[in-house]
Homo-oligomer: A and B are copies of this chain.
Amino acid sequence: MVTLALDLAANPVELTAALVDVPSVSGNEAALAAAVEHALRSQARHLEVVRSGNAVLARTRFGRPTRVVLAGHLDTVPINNNLPVRRTGAGADLVLHGCGTVDMKAGDAVMLHLAATATEPRHDLTFVFYDCEEVEAARNGLTRIERELSDWLTGDLAVVCEPSNAVVEAGCQGTMRVTVRTNGKRAHTARGWLGVNAIHAAGEVLRRLAEYEPRQVEIDGCQYHEGLQAVCVEGGVAGNVVPDECVVTVNHRFAPDRSPEQAEAHLREVFAGYEVSVVDLAAGALPGLSHQVARDFVRAAGGQPVAKLGWTDVARFAALGLPAVNFGPGDPSLAHTREEHVPAADIRRCAEVLTQFVH
């Protein structure tokens, strides 16, 4: 295998393009991991470098009083006829298009640039480039690192460089799926009055959903917009039978000031009178912006942090006890689309903010 030579210090925009042109669909990150490892070992000699599967870990050991962990995944969703990288515009308007541009090789490039250039940072720095973020949690490289190399995930602030339009996104909402079940009594539809129609009974469940007013909560200056959405409805026995069961599956997104237990209690209240079962859940993560290092980072990013809407590995770091933020180039709503792209200006800005923050 020929290992691509990456120039980490020169230009994070060109570095992004170079990373994009090494395909790395989940499970096939070996070539990219090798290039990253080789570049770090040769161009960032102040770092301790470790390889773990298709993940590459690097850190300073300067004995600084504080440590910042930066994390980015190397894998992408499947290529969709959108490689190699394509450029439009120029200068301040340059945009890179292609698989992985926004999710999240631009963020990886910013991290690699910082790893090579921040040779005397005021915080100790840990860089985590990991594999298999785009697939099930059990395969996620961070799960393995947490199990086998947990001391690499400790520090005072975690910055996950997923796309956030180069704005600090803090914390994330929890998500819970529940089923709400109605019961009835079967009968032949020719004698429908002998039965009780469970689908008709679900009308009241849907009415409560339609009328639900989601909370909007401000925490550490971040606005969280909750949600309660039916994502599935199923009922019916046969074309001539009054159905005796109907199940509505509801997805609740809840602000991180609520624990999963509190969120569940809330749903049981909303759907009082119905059989409610929790199908799956993931806790939210408080923004944690009251910590000094986090405050410094928000100041360096020069703006008001906003709430993270989706659920990312930010929550994983929060669960480990680190204040964790999301900060990276590009628009997150373009992730996983064939048209994903990232503005060069975002890449430059993120690199500048991080450089300023660590010096």
| A interface list, Cβ under 8 A from B | 173, 175, 177, 188-193, 195, 197, 199-207, 209-210, 214, 225, 227-243, 246, 248-249, 251, 253, 280, 309-311
Once bound together, how far apart are the Cα atoms of A209 and B203, in whole Å? 9
Q: How far is the CB of A49 from chain B (nearest CB, A)?
A: 35
- A sample of 12 more A-B contacts (CB under 8 A), given A175-B189, A190-B227, A200-B230, is A188-B310, A189-B251, A191-B225, A191-B227, A192-B227, A199-B233, A199-B248, A200-B209, A230-B235, A231-B236, A234-B236, A240-B251
| Contact between B237 and A231, CB atoms less than 8 A apart | yes
Question: Given the complex, which residues of B lie within 8 Å of A204, measured CB to CB?
Answer: 203
Q: How far is the CB of A93 from chain B (nearest CB, A)?
A: 27
**Contact residues of A: prevailing secondary structure:** mixed
Once bound together, how far apart are the Cα atoms of A192 and B201, in whole Å? 25
Oligomer: number of copies: 2
| Contact between B206 and A210, CB atoms less than 8 A apart | no
Once bound together, how far apart are the Cα atoms of A200 and B214, in whole Å? 14
Question: Given the complex, which residues of B lie within 8 Å of A197, measured CB to CB?
Answer: 209-210, 229-230
| Contact between A231 and B241, CB atoms less than 8 A apart | yes
Q: How far is the CB of A308 from chain B (nearest CB, A)?
A: 9
Between A and B, 12 residue pairs with Cβ closer than 8 Å are A188-B309, A189-B227, A189-B251, A190-B311, A193-B214, A197-B209, A201-B210, A203-B205, A231-B238, A232-B236, A232-B243, A233-B235
